[in-house]
């Protein structure tokens, strides 16, 4: 059996089904590039038949990504498969991923089909897909609650029809590690043509076991893991890519497998996702949380100072968290900055490197120490910010303890036109948001406001994420600045720009 585990990332498909994690086309492309740079084997770009927007983004990702395979999901129906193929055909390595449910409860109540009808649909779907490509994945949705004998028959049949990857999802996160491993072993033993396909697993986290089930399945012989960055996904999410990879890397004698992932890109990729979807990484999140490598108790600190291995099973550097090293300053040249950017997983054009380098110098004028996190914040702020309809030019606020309401005076550019206004609020952030909303002419509901310090010290960059809602449309925005009121204003305006962009995007792609 091969010792290589393929990493199939579905952040852009299952991950995007996570509440509040919708991404626009530019954001999806950014994530796709990061996944490719990290060494992900297969990027599931979306579900092309779901909507015109999905079709367009899958097609754009297929046109952009060169190294990784690009998969398009489709139901086991000819029209869905044709649509998926149209979206991915431009990819250097396209994969059709077709699925149908195989559990009694899904077949009876969702599909209203008998097992024989499902078997027939699955075989026809794979045959239909094989007119386009030999790279076909078949998923038996809700496999973990399916009858094992039926699952074995289904698996054998789709492999006979041309499926080269067979995915066994724990769709509702119901399985337990031993049981799930047993199922994989059973299939590998009882499906006569099992050696002709890669067995894959796709585990949901409803009982908090997505990673444990994935790891158990790998030990049992699965050789593809379907995962998402930070474990985002439908309901409680999917197995987290960074956790699966670091389990494999940290316990080589247990798993005895390798992946193609450059682990030093794990943290930058998860941070990028967090910025894009506006959901902060929880502090206690394994691998990437702020506390994952922090040692608080005296005994632990003492141990780590004497020898890191006392309480550290992996180093922060190994997952791309340089964290406490001072990296750049006022005198750093473009070359050093570019090297740092590459280290952090960003491949930028010469023009963009100059933009980052100028911003680093501006920040170095007001902040003594520049950390990796500061550089990342600058990249996200300067390079990846979507072209702005609304732009902040000047902001002053006044607040205090005198009982007088806080005031904000804002000068903004709206479609190139300068606008100014002053407003009151219960505090400086409220006054700033009221003023901006009035200038822009919308009054969205503020659903989330989160503020954190990006690096240590009182001169740290403050990072603000907001989520706003205007009717049915929602948008997240983020902003970073050493002044937290300015960071808040930037985040709010960023969200306003994204809200405006969402309306434009629905007409941007003219899908055939």
Task: Name the site residues for Zn ion (rule: CB under 5 A).
Answer: 14
Piece of 107-115, 163-171, 252-260, 411-419 that binds ligand KIV (CB under 6 A): 163-171
56, 305 Cβ separation under 8 angstroms: no
180 DSSP assignment? H
SS (H, E, C) 96-133: EEEEEECCHHHHHHHHCCCHHHHHHHHHHHHHHHHCCC
Shortest distance in whole angstroms from residue 120 CB to Zn ion: 24
Shortest distance in whole angstroms from residue 223 CB to Zn ion: 19
Cβ proximity to ligand KIV: between 202 and 478 the closer is 202
Query: Choosing among ligand KIV, Zn ion, none, which partner's interface includes residue 141 (Cβ < 5 to 8 Å by kind)?
Result: ligand KIV
Task: Tell me which of 68, 171, 274, 332 binds ligand KIV, using CB under 6 A.
Answer: 171
Task: Tell me which of 162, 169, 444, 477 binds ligand KIV, using CB under 6 A.
Answer: 169
Shortest distance in whole angstroms from residue 139 CB to ligand KIV: 4
CA distances from 321 to 21, 24, 57, 264, 291 (A): 24, 27, 30, 8, 12
- Asked whether the CA dihedral 286, 291, 294, 296 is positive or negative, the reply is negative
Is 155 an interacting residue with respect to ligand KIV (CB under 6 A)? no
Name the residue among 54, 60, 477, 487 with its Cα closest to residue 276: 477
Cβ proximity to ligand KIV: between 201 and 491 the closer is 201
Query: Choosing among Zn ion, ligand KIV, none, which partner's interface includes residue 55 (Cβ < 5 to 8 Å by kind)?
Result: none
Shortest distance in whole angstroms from residue 476 CB to Zn ion: 23
Piece of 29-37, 165-173, 210-218, 337-345 that binds ligand KIV (CB under 6 A): 165-173
Q: Which of residues 10-39 bind ligand KIV (CB under 6 A)?
A: 14
- 253 exposed, middle or buried (CB, 10 Å; 0-12, 13-18, 19+)? exposed
Residue 269 backbone phi and psi in degrees, to 5: -65, -40
58, 89 Cβ separation under 8 angstroms: no
Shortest distance in whole angstroms from residue 142 CB to ligand KIV: 6
Shortest distance in whole angstroms from residue 48 CB to ligand KIV: 14
Shortest distance in whole angstroms from residue 171 CB to Zn ion: 6
Nearby residues of 75 by Cβ (< 8 Å), 6 or more positions away? 49, 98, 99, 100, 125
Q: Which of residues 132-151 bind ligand KIV (CB under 6 A)?
A: 139, 141
Shortest distance in whole angstroms from residue 235 CB to Zn ion: 9
Shortest distance in whole angstroms from residue 141 CB to ligand KIV: 4
Query: Choosing among Zn ion, ligand KIV, none, which partner's interface includes residue 279 (Cβ < 5 to 8 Å by kind)?
Result: none
Residues binding ligand KIV: number (CB under 6 A): 9
Q: Across the chain, how many H-helices and E-strands are there?
A: 17, 14
The C-alpha atoms of residue 164 and residue 131 are separated, in whole angstroms, by 14
Cβ proximity to Zn ion: between 14 and 36 the closer is 14
Q: Which of residues 183-212 bind ligand KIV (CB under 6 A)?
A: 202, 204
Is 99 an interacting residue with respect to ligand KIV (CB under 6 A)? yes
Q: Which of residues 59-78 bind ligand KIV (CB under 6 A)?
A: none
78-88 helix and 115-130 helix, angle to the nearest 10 degrees = 30
Cβ proximity to Zn ion: between 14 and 388 the closer is 14
Name the residue among 142, 216, 221, 224 with its Cα closest to residue 186: 221
Query: Choosing among Zn ion, ligand KIV, none, which partner's interface includes residue 490 (Cβ < 5 to 8 Å by kind)?
Result: none
320, 268 Cβ separation under 8 angstroms: yes
263, 233 Cβ separation under 8 angstroms: no
The C-alpha atoms of residue 201 and residue 236 are separated, in whole angstroms, by 17
Footprint on this chain of ligand KIV (rule: CB under 6 A): 14, 99, 139, 141, 167, 169, 171, 202, 204
């Amino acid at each position: 059996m091969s010792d290589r585990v393929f990493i199939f990332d579905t952040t852009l498909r299952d991950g995007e089904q996570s509440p509040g994690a919708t991404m626009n086309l530019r954001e999806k492309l950014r994530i796709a590039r990061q996944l490719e740079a990290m060494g992900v084997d297969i990027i599931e770009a979306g579900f092309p038949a779901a909507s015109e927007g999905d079709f367009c983004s899958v097609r754009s990702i297929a046109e952009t990504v060169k190294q990784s395979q690009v998969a398009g999901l489709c139901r086991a129906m000819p029209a869905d498969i044709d649509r998926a193929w149209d979206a991915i055909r431009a990819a250097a390595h396209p994969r059709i991923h077709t699925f149908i449910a195989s559990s009694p409860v899904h077949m009876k109540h969702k599909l209203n089909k008998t097992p024989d009808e499902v078997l027939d649909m699955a075989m026809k779907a794979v045959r239909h897909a094989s007119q386009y490509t030999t790279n076909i994945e078949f998923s038996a949705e809700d496999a973990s609650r399916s009858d094992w004998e039926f699952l074995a028959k289904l698996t054998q049949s789709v492999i006979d029809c041309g499926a080269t990857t067979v995915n066994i999802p724990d769709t509702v996160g119901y399985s337990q590690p031993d049981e799930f491993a047993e199922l994989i072993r059973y299939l590998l033993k009882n499906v006569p043509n099992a050696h002709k396909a890669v067995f894959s697993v796709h585990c949901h986290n409803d009982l908090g076991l997505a990673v444990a089930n994935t790891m158990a399945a790998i030990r049992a012989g699965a050789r593809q893991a379907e995962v998402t960055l930070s474990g985002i996904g439908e309901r409680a999410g999917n197995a987290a890519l960074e956790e699966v990879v670091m389990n494999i890397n940290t316990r080589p004698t247990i798993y005895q497998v390798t992946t193609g992932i450059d682990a030093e890109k794990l943290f930058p990729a998860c941070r990028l996702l967090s910025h894009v979807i506006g959901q902060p990484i929880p502090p206690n999140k394994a691998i990437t949380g702020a506390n994952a490598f922090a040692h608080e108790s005296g005994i632990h600190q003492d141990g780590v100072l004497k020898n890191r291995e006392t309480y550290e099973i992996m180093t922060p550097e190994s997952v791309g968290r340089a964290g406490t090293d001072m990296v750049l300053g006022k005198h750093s040249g473009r070359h050093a900055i570019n090297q740092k950017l590459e280290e952090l997983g960003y491949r930028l054009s010469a023009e963009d490197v100059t933009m980052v380098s100028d911003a680093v110098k501006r920040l170095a004028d007001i902040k003594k120490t520049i950390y990796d996190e500061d550089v990342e914040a600058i990249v996200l702020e300067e390079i990846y910010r979507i072209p702005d309809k609304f732009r902040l030019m000047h902001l002053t606020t006044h607040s205090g303890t005198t009982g007088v309401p806080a005031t904000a005076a804002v000068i903004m550019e709206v479609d190139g036109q300068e606008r100014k206004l002053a407003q009151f609020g219960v505090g400086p952030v409220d006054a700033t948001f009221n003023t901006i909303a009035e200038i822009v002419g919308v009054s969205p509901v503020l659903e989330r406001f989160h503020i954190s310090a990006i690096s240590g010290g009182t001169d740290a960059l403050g990072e603000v994420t907001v989520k706003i809602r205007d009717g049915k449309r929602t948008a997240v925005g983020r902003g970073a600045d050493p002044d937290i009121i300015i960071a808040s204003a930037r985040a709010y305006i960023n969200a306003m720009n994204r809200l405006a962009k969402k309306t434009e995007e629905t007409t941007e792609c003219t899908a055939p």
